[in-house]
Homo-oligomer: A and B are copies of this chain.
Amino acid sequence: MFSNQYMQQAYALACKANDSGEVPVGAVVVYKEKIIGAAYNQVEVAKNPLAHAEILALEQALAFTCTKYIEQCELYVTLEPCPMCAHAISLAKIKRIYFGAYDEKGGGVVHGAKIYNSSSCHHHPEIISGIMEDECSRLLKNFFNNLRR
């Protein structure tokens, strides 16, 4: 069930990413109204281009449940997932995704590869987009504007 508090948690994690010089994206995985995965982008600090918030939050949730699939979980993320994360979400059989800002350049859900529309996708999470879009989007814009200064 949707609750704005979870996107606020994801947003708070995105702010932490921002403060540590990472592209500000945060994600939480929710199971029965409890957060079982919470992470922000760690690409720079981990020197790992795969360390996206969604992957890290999914890994925590999978470790927590000790199950191969987490069908009853929902994922909240401040930015439209990239194709890697979108497909990872499908592989874990996440029930529903809530995302904040749209990512025209790198997104893989409603943009680009549109992972869930392709024949290589065998589990289609429900998608609810544009939650706290303005805040999530502003955080990202400010981050990239500051980088260019």
Give me the interface of A with B, judged by CB distance under 8 Å.
43-44, 47-50, 55, 58-59, 62, 66-69, 82-88, 91-93, 105-108, 111-115, 118-122
Contacts and interface: CB of A to CB of B under 8 A. Distances in A.
Given A113-B115, A115-B113, A83 B120 contact: yes
Main secondary structure of the interface of A (DSSP, over half): loop
Given A47-B68, A48-B59, 11 more contacts: A47-B62, A50-B58, A50-B59, A83-B84, A83-B87, A83-B113, A108-B118, A108-B120, A111-B119, A112-B119, A112-B120
Contacts of A47: 62, 66-68
A91 B118 CA distance: 20
B88 A68 contact: no
6 contacts: A48-B62, A49-B91, A50-B55, A82-B120, A83-B83, A108-B118
B84 A106 contact: no
Contacts of A82: 87, 91, 120
Contact of A84 (B68, B91, B114): B91
Nearest to A106: B120
A108 B119 CA distance: 9
Nearest to A48: B62
Contacts of A86: 83
